[in-house]
Amino acid sequence: MADRWQTSRELLDRARQSLCGGVSSPFRASFPVPLYFEDGNGARLLDVDSNEYIDYTLAWGPNILGYRHPKVAEAVSRQAMSVHTYGAQHRLEPEVAEKFQAAVPCAERVAFTSSGSEAVQLVFRLARAYTNRKYILKFEGHYHGWMDSVFLSYRAPADKFGPVDAPTVALGSRGQVENSAGNVIAAPWNDLAFLERLFAERGHEIAGVITEPVLCNSGCILPEPGFLAGLRALTRKHGTLLIFDEVITGFRISLGGAQAHFGVTPDLATFGKAIAAGMPLSAVAGRKDIMEEMYKGVAFGGTFNGNPMSLAAANAALDVLSANDGTILKEANALGSQLMEKISAHGKAAGVPLYVCGFGTAFALHFTPVTGMKHYRDTWADDKEKLTRYIKGMLEEGVYLLPDGRVYTSCAHTEREIQETATAAQKVLASLA
Ligand SMILES: Cc1ncc(COP(=O)(O)O)c(C=O)c1O
């Protein structure tokens, strides 16, 4: 049988001779078939073997408006004919920051950085400086970038996590400074009773609690009703800052992020991925009194911070996303929810143990008998082999998915794409039964 991915495989073999591992991020090596792409438009991608796919990776999230959105393309092209970076001030900075302020509840002040990982480092430093405390509390399975200070209790082997009622902090990488674990406390998510006990004992030592408001990086698990509000009250009571990592939820679950969606305002928040609709940009938003610590001796830098290319894209993206009271995102989330329901129904009809959770534009498939997931440890029973078979089956049907079962939809996905995808899922799920 002809290999429909022959050119991709040849390019990967070639790349391995120069580019370490043949890919630009080891996370990308986990795709069952690492593809090379030639082009994309709307919700579709074209690979180098001329295969077309409906895409649900969106480059791991950023392409919230789909590929080559005309307004973003036009803004970036215009800027490309001018200066690409100044390392100094220009008009787009306040223009985009003001739009951010208008959209995001906690954004009394905004700072622009380049990647989500960097933005997280800045909020940690601000939180520690502001409170004069050492510890950051993070939740198991939550991802906040790959830096030593926080690549902890994420995808480490299960035996490194300790018992659920007394979790240990698990290092995530060889070569990681071991004592980074000594500045962090790990906790199971969605468990307020656990946190109340912990804060009664150690609240006075905890500078900040960081959480993905929806656990997108470990299976798109939703916060239980009242959990985020409870976390808000608990952190306020103990003088600890609440930090939402909205790198995925920002400009996705709603224009104002998860904080607007769930009605819980954190002290600080990080944004990235979708905010510039495909260009590299991240941001920290937060309370003025905390943010201004960075002009009182809290060091922060970045050569490309606030560069006009990325801000031109963000400016255009914000205009598109905020038009008509953010209708476009509401519609995208509604359509994504329909896809979730269709896939669940097809799984049930096929007799495959399948749990689908998340929200419309970011959800995940878990091949597991477990339902009603609460935290990361609930995903340990997932059948990874079945997931890989599903992803490969869908690829053969012309649907491109992330390797961890996460599904991102964009404002460019239409009913046609959703229906075609549901039909493909029905066929592939039946083959897995
Ligand atoms: C919630 C969250 N925070 C932080 C990051 C790190 O962002 P970046 O990859 O831009 O450094 C990611 C990346 O996937 C993320 O999902």
Does residue 248 fall inside a structural domain?
A: yes
State residue 1's pLDDT score.
57
Looking at the structure of the chain, the number of domains it has is: 2
Ligand 1 atom at minimum distance from 272 CA: 10
Q: Are residues 21 and 123 in the same domain?
A: no
Q: Are residues 286 and 160 in the same domain?
A: yes
State residue 31's pLDDT score.
85
Residue 288 annotated in active site: no
Element (H, E) at 385: helix 384-396
State residue 29's pLDDT score.
86
Does residue 1 fall inside a structural domain?
A: no
Indicate which CATH number applies to the domain containing 301: 3.40.640.10
Across the chain, which has 433 residues, the per-10-residue mean pLDDT values are: 89 94 88 92 98 98 98 98 97 98 98 98 98 98 98 93 96 95 98 98 98 98 98 98 98 97 99 98 98 95 97 98 96 98 98 98 97 95 97 97 97 98 98 94
Comparing CA positions, the residue from 260, 270, 195 lying closest to residue 233 is 195
Domain hosting residue 94, numbered range: 70-321
Select which of 245, 378, 382, 404 is catalytic. Answer: 245
Taking the complete model, does pTM exceed 0.95, yes or no? yes
Last residue within a domain, chosen from 272, 293, 321: 321
State residue 386's pLDDT score.
98
Last residue within a domain, chosen from 321, 344, 366: 321
Q: Are residues 308 and 336 in the same domain?
A: no
Q: Are residues 160 and 30 in the same domain?
A: no
Q: Rounded distance, CA 359 to CA 395, Å?
A: 23
Looking at ligand 1, which residue's alpha carbon is closest to its atom 8? 116
Q: Are residues 135 and 175 in the same domain?
A: yes
Comparing CA positions, the residue from 340, 312, 336, 275 lying closest to residue 110 is 275
212: Cβ below 6 Å to ligand 1? yes
| Contact status, residue 359 vs residue 214, Cβ threshold 8 Å | yes
117: Cβ below 6 Å to ligand 1? yes
211: Cβ below 6 Å to ligand 1? no
Q: Are residues 283 and 168 in the same domain?
A: yes
116: Cβ below 6 Å to ligand 1? yes
State residue 32's pLDDT score.
82
Last residue within a domain, chosen from 321, 336, 371: 321
Indicate which CATH number applies to the domain containing 31: 3.90.1150.10
Q: Rounded distance, CA 214 to CA 220, Å?
A: 6
Ligand 1 atom at minimum distance from 142 CA: 1
Does residue 120 fall inside a structural domain?
A: yes
Q: Are residues 185 and 251 in the same domain?
A: yes
| Contact status, residue 104 vs residue 275, Cβ threshold 8 Å | no
Residue 49 annotated in active site: no
Q: Are residues 240 and 292 in the same domain?
A: yes
Q: Are residues 276 and 407 in the same domain?
A: no
State residue 157's pLDDT score.
87
